[in-house]
Amino acid sequence: MAVIKRQTKLSQLPTRCLHTPLKPNYLLNWEKHRPKFKKFILLHLIQVLDTCKSPSPEITAEKLIEELSANMGGVIKIQIQLYIENLIYHGYLAESYLGGTITCTDKVYNELRTIDRIIAEKNLKKHDQLGVQE
């Protein structure tokens, strides 16, 4: 029977070296996009990353662009590449050094929570305004 002498905690696992991602050719201001549009992109991104992860764990930028283009109704691949580069630059996606594997960061899920809160507040304001007019 094997004996575990020491168990590694998650905080002690090796982490990626911190580096600044390359600046995209065309830098988008992510904060100025509409909340529903940001939600659309982030939800499709999570869906594609989860479905691609199951058979093979390596999802490169090229594979992600192909899958997103097909999943989002044939959106132009160059446009998706632009968003992927910007999401990597802004820290929503992390790209590993070996093989260029892409993963979602916690920033994606935090942004989705914030977007849901913003949309819910807007809907509540609309509902209140309609109630006052009647």
What pLDDT does 53 receive?
A: 67
Report the CATH architecture of 32-133: Orthogonal Bundle (1.10)
> What's the farthest any 2 CA atoms get from each other in the chain?
75
How far apart, in whole angstroms, are the C-alpha atoms of residue 40 and residue 57? 24
More confident call, 4 vs 80? 80
| Residue 60 binned pLDDT confidence (cut-offs 50, 70, 90) | confident
pTM for the model stands at 0.73
Contact 64, 52 (CB under 8 A): yes
First to last CA, the chain: 75
- Between 2-11, 28-37, 94-103, the lowest mean confidence (pLDDT) is in 2-11
For the stretch 34-54, pLDDT in tens is 999 999 999 999 988 887 766
DSSP H/E element including 94: strand 93-95
What pLDDT does 43 receive?
A: 92
Neighbour tally for 3: CB within 10 Å = 4
Q: What is the mean pLDDT of the chain?
A: 79
What pLDDT does 15 receive?
A: 45
Residues in the chain: 134
Which residues make Cβ contacts (< 8 Å) with residue 40, sequence separation at least 6?
none
Q: Which of 15-29, 63-77, 82-96 has the highest mean pLDDT?
A: 82-96
Residue 109 has pLDDT above 90, yes or no: yes
How far apart, in whole angstroms, are the C-alpha atoms of residue 61 and residue 22? 14
Q: Which of 105, 113, 129, 80 is nearest to 21 (CA)?
A: 105
Contact 28, 93 (CB under 8 A): no
How far apart, in whole angstroms, are the C-alpha atoms of residue 48 and residue 51? 5
